[in-house]
Structure formats: structure tokens, C-alpha cells
């Protein structure tokens, strides 16, 4: 929001909405303020108001089935037990784009609820801060519908290629 100088947050669609541009393309940021399990109420209302389809939406969400710090982008699919995604899918269908941010699995199914609702641990900042920074830097590629480019740019920011030393020429 701040990095790309989006407009002020306004209360709308049972959430907070900001308008701006990413790579010259109009974009909206929406933070639903409903319970997560009812995110589809907010998202569905915004899409209907702006006459946008599910394919125009990118949802960034936590994913326990990915290791902490891993990121994957996909279009459509199931909700994998994620109640926020289930709500959005019920409101608009499954064909929206998803940026899945790995938060790791707590190991035991009985601990999943507490794991996903708890704040990040201080030591998670070591991977979370660089990952979020890379996502911000690569965001214009999402606006261009270049999901593969978005994921690649993040990977390169987080782990730039090392230069191989040039072999010395015989003199």
C-alpha cells in the first residue's frame, strides 16, 4: 500500500479498500474485516460493485501445506481446509488466483487451529520480512497477470544467482 502510494484506506464492503496503480494498471487492495471464515462476503461485494470476475482477483493467504517461507502461485483449485478460501469460493467460484504463503504445519492436526490464528513468532521475521519485501517488489507482475514472473522474481530477490568465476585464460 505505502510502497506504491495507494490512496487512503476507506471503510467499504465490510472491510478496508484502497485504490492505486501497479505498473500503470488500476488496482484495488481489500482487507476484509469480517471474520476470516466470512471473507467471501467482503470480497464478493467488492467484485460485484466493480463488475470484476473471479479471474481478476488475487488472494494472498497462509498455507500450512507449504514449508514456512515457501511461496506458490496458482489459479483455481480447492480450499485445502482453509475457511477463508472456502468462503470466497462460495461467494464467487473457485477460479481466482492465489498466492500461497507457506507458514508450515505444526506437526499435529489438533494444533493447526492455534497455529494459523497465532501471531508469528519473533524468529519468523528472519524469513517473513524478506519474503514480504520481495512480494511487494514483484507485485506489478501480478497486475500484468504474470504469475510465473512474479514467483520467479521473488525467488531471484531472495536468492540471487551467484556469479561463477570466469576461468583464467592461459597467457
Look at residues 156, 160, 161, 140 and name the one whose alpha carbon lies nearest to residue 71. Answer: 156
Report the C-alpha gap between 40 and 88 in whole angstroms: 4
| R_g over Cα of the chain | 18
Look at residues 103, 9, 122 and name the one whose alpha carbon lies nearest to residue 63. Answer: 103
**Cβ within 8 Å of residue 160, ≥6 positions away:** none
Residue with cell 473457485: 94
- Tens-digit pLDDT profile for residues 17-72: 999 999 999 999 999 999 989 999 999 999 999 999 999 999 999 999 899 999 99
- Tens-digit pLDDT profile for residues 96-121: 999 999 998 888 888 888 888 888 88
| DSSP state letter for 25 | E
> 37, 84 in Cβ contact below 8 A?
yes
pTM: 0.87
Amino acid at each position: 500500500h505505502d510502497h506504491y502510494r495507494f490512496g487512503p484506506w476507506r471503510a467499504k464492503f465490510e472491510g478496508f479498500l484502497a485504490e492505486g496503480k501497479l505498473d500503470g494498471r488500476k488496482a484495488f487492495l481489500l482487507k476484509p474485516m469480517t471474520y476470516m471464515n466470512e471473507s467471501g462476503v467482503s470480497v464478493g461485494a467488492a467484485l460485484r460493485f466493480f463488475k470484476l470476475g473471479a479471474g481478476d482477483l488475487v488472494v494472498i493467504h497462509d498455507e500450512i501445506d507449504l514449508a514456512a517461507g515457501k511461496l506458490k502461485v496458482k489459479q483455481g483449485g480447492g480450499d485445502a481446509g482453509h475457511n477463508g478460501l472456502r468462503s470466497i469460493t462460495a461467494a464467487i467460484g473457485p477460479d481466482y488466483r492465489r498466492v500461497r504463503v507457506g507458514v508450515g504445519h505444526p506437526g499435529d492436526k489438533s494444533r493447526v487451529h492455534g497455529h494459523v490464528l497465532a501471531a508469528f513468532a519473533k524468529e519468523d521475521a528472519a524469513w517473513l520480512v524478506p519474503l514480504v519485501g520481495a512480494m511487494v517488489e514483484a507485485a506489478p507482475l501480478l497486475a500484468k497477470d504474470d504469475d510465473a514472473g512474479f514467483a520467479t522474481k521473488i525467488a531471484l530477490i531472495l536468492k540471487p544467482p551467484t556469479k561463477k568465476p570466469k576461468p583464467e585464460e592461459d597467457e
